[in-house]
Structure 1
Amino acid sequence: MAGCSETSSGDLLEKLEMRFERKSPTDIITEHMSVVAYNLMRDEIKNLEEVADILGSLNNLNHENLHEINFKGLNFVKPVEENLRYSVTLKEINISKYSTFVNKFGVSLWYVLKGKQPVISEAKYRCLFEQFLQMFGIEVMAQPEIDMESTEIFHRKVSSRADIVCFSPKDVEKYSLAVCKVKNECCFTDVETEPSAPKLRRTEDAPQRIQIRKEKFSLPDGLHAQHVGDLLAYLDKSVCKEAILGMTVEKTMVTFTRLLVKDETMEKLQRSSSDSVKLKEEERPVLYYSKRYNYLLLEDRKEIVKALLTLAVMEKRRAKKS
C-alpha cells in the first residue's frame, strides 16, 4: 500500500478541518507551478492542446478497463519521430522519450493482458502508470526505491512511502513534483462505513455540494483520507513552497490533487499540544481535486495528457529559471 500513518487518517483529516475545491487537472497544475516557473503563453497553450490530442491518441486506444482489451490486437508501433516533431513545436517536449515509452507501454500492456488473470495486481497497475507518466516527459521513481517520508502533526508522526514519486532531477532536498498512490480497486461507495470515517459522496453530477459542509469533514468520492497523509508527509520535499501535487490511481482512473497548507498553519499544527487546533477559515488547509479520468478512454486521456505535458513543460522552465 502506498502510505502508512502512525495516526488514523480519518481522525487526522477531521482535526485538520480540510476545505475542498474541484478544478480541472490543467488548472491545478498551472496554478501550482506558476509560483516557480515561467507561465505558458496563449499560443503555447493552444499548441499544448493540439499536442495532447496527437500524443494522447495511442493508436486510438479506447476502453473502459484492461479486461476489455484484446491483447492479440495491440499495435503499439514506435512512432516516426520526424513526423511528430513537425507538429510539436514546444522544445521542452521530448519526442524521443515519448517514442521510447510508447513502445514500452505497449509491450507492458501486452504482458499484463496475456495472462488473462481475473485480478490484476497493484504492481502491474503501477508499472503501467509509471510508463504512462514517462511517455509525457515526467521523471519518476517507484517502490521499492522510494524512501519513507514523515512529518509531525499534533505531536504525532505521519509517515508515508508513495507508490510513485514524480521528481525533479535538479533538486536534492526539494525534489517532489507529485506524489502518486496506485490501487487495484475502485471506491464508489456513498455509504459511511464507520463513525470516524469521512463520508464519501459522488460529486461529479453536483460539485457545488462540496461547498456545503453539513458533515464535520468530507472527502470527494473516490479519494481516500490516507492520500492527505501521503501529501502531508511529502510536503516538505515539494518543489513548491506550501503546496504539493498528488495523483490517486484506482486501476486506470486518475484523480489529480493539490494540497495547500500555509506555513503559519503548518506551524500551528505542529506546535499544538492538544489533538486539535482552532483555525480561521482562511487558515484551513485546502485540497484541490479533479474529477476522475480514465487513461484508457480517448477523451479522458486528452485531459490527462494535457495536464502532464503542462507539468513537464513548466518543470523544465522552472529548472531553467533556477
Structure 2
Amino acid sequence: MSAGNNTKLGILLMVITTAIFAIQDGISRYLATEYNVMMVVMIRYWFFAAFVITVAARQAGGLRAAAATQQPFLQATRGFLLAAEICVMVAGFVLLGLVESHAIFASYPLIIAALSGPILGEKVGWPRIIAIGVGFVGILIILKPGFTVFSPAAIVPFIAALMFALYSLLTRFVARKDTTATSFFWTGTMGAIFATLAGVWFWESMAPSDWLWMASLCMFGALGHWFLIRTYEVAEASAVQPFAYLQLVFASAIGITFLGETLPLNVAIGAAIVICAGLFTFWRERRRAISE
C-alpha cells in the first residue's frame, strides 16, 4: 500500500479517524460497564475479522495473498497483543474513565521511541532520550505518585500503552518482509481467534437496545479502520501521525459531555506535556527521514 503525497487530505482523514475511534471508545465504555469486557471485545472482533477478510478478498491475489507470510509467529503475536491491549484498555475505561485512561495511554509513542533502539536497532539520540524523559514526567503528573490517583487502576491504561507500543514495534519489524495488507489480515483474524478463545466463556444475554449499541460499536470500528487505511494511502504516516493525539481530545469531550467525567488540572497539565514530548519525537523522526 503505497503512500501518496496529499498531506492536507491525509490530515483531514486522520482527524475523522480519531473522532470515530473516540466514539467507539465511548460505546465500549458503556457496554463494558453493563457486560463482561471479554465478551464485548470478542463480538467487536468478530465484525472486525469479517471486515478484514472482506477487504483482503477484494485485493489482488485474494485471501491466499493476504495470508502469505514468512513470519507467522510474529504476525500471530501482533494479533494477540492488539486484542489483549483492547481488553486491557476497555477495562481501563471502566476503572478510570475515558479522560484519564486516554491521558495515560497517550504515552505510547514515547514508549515506542524508548524501545525502538533495543528492539529494532534504531539509533536513539539525546534529543529523543530527553523527550522521553520529559514525557514520563508528564505521566507522573497525571498519576500523582503518593496521592490517591496512583493506584493499580491507574496502571491499567499504562499497561495498555506498553502493549500497543510493542504491537507497533512488531508491526514495523514485520513490515520489512510483509505487506500492509498481510499485516492487516493477520491482525484481524488472529485477534478474533484470541478474543473468541478468551471471551466465549463469559457470554451473557444482552438487552435488545444494547445489541443496537453493539452493532454501532462494530460499525464504528470497521469505519474507523477504513478511514485509517485511506489516511495512509493518501499521505505519509510521519506527516499525519501527530494528529492521532486528537483522539485524546475527542475522547475527553465525550467523557465529560456524555459520561459525567471531569478533567482534573493535573491530568490536563500532564497530558499536555506528554503530547508535546510525543510531537517532538515525531518532528525529529520526520526531519531525520527527510535528511536521509
Normalising by structure 1, report the TM-score: 0.27
Q: Which has the higher helix share?
A: 2
Q: Larger radius of gyration, structure 1 or 2? A: 1
